[in-house]
């Protein structure tokens, strides 16, 4: 009987402790302002869509990205999509990871669809804005860069095959060909 009473008291004490911790966490969360409640004056990432990137221009972006990857001895997959998210050009460097083929395309499509670098989505998720992972078609990994020419979005480059930071370096090298 003493053991039963002891277990009951212990269980109730643990439940009380858990309840107290949960109550304190909820109270703390309610006191801190939600940064997502801020209302910006301007629309973020409000770059207008332009005419689609040409095949020759897409090939030049790939060539610059591949040159950067080659210089660093990185095997990459490089995808270029137009302003509508349609694949225009793709290159898989010798030895590049097969799984990264679709990832490179996905990064490019996300960069053009959401009109921002995929690093912005990665940063948002890491910063606790987990609602981002609920959006259809999102990827929270850097390496997708919008291609902006004369203030208009003409497409995007997506790179995959290395770490996110390696993918980003290669994508930026390609994106720098677009002015």
pLDDT at 16: 53
Tell me, what's the pLDDT at 8? Answer: 45
Give the Cα separation of 118 and 171 in Å (integer).
11
Instruction: Name the band, by pLDDT with cuts 50, 70 and 90, for residue 20.
Output: low
Q: 164 vs 35, 114, 120, 151, CA distance in Å?
A: 26, 18, 12, 26
How would residue 135 be classed by pLDDT, with cut points 50, 70 and 90? Answer: confident
Q: What are the Cα distances from residue 47, in Å, to 15, 26, 79, 141?
A: 53, 39, 21, 21
**How sure is the predictor about 3, in pLDDT bands with cuts at 50, 70 and 90?**
low
Average pLDDT, the chain: 87
Higher pLDDT, 10 or 18: 10
What is the mean predicted confidence (pLDDT) over 131-158? 94
**pTM for the complete prediction?**
0.78
| Residue pair 77/90 in contact by the 8 Å Cβ criterion | yes
Query: Nearest 5 degrees, angle CA 59-CA 60-CA 65?
Result: 95
Pairing state between β 87-92 and 144-149 = unpaired
pLDDT in tens, 95-129: 999 999 999 999 999 999 999 999 999 999 898 88
pLDDT of 42 reads: 81
């Amino acid at each position: 009987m003493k053991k039963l009473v002891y277990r009951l008291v212990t269980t109730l004490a643990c439940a009380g402790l858990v309840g107290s911790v949960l109550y304190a966490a909820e109270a703390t969360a309610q006191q801190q302002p939600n940064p997502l409640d801020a209302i910006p004056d301007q629309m973020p990432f409000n770059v207008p869509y332009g005419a689609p990137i040409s095949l020759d221009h897409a090939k030049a972006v790939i060539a610059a990205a591949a040159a950067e990857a080659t210089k660093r001895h990185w095997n990459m997959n490089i995808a270029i999509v137009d302003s509508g998210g349609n694949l225009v050009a793709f290159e898989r460097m010798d030895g590049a990871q097969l799984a990264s083929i679709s990832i490179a395309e996905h990064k490019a499509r996300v960069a053009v669809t959401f009109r921002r670098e995929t690093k912005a989505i990665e940063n948002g998720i890491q910063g606790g804005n987990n609602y981002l992972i609920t959006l259809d078609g999102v990827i929270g990994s850097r390496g997708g860069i919008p291609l902006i020419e004369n203030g208009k979005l003409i497409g995007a480059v997506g790179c995959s095959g290395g770490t996110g930071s390696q993918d980003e370096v290669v994508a930026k090298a390609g994106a720098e060909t677009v002015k």
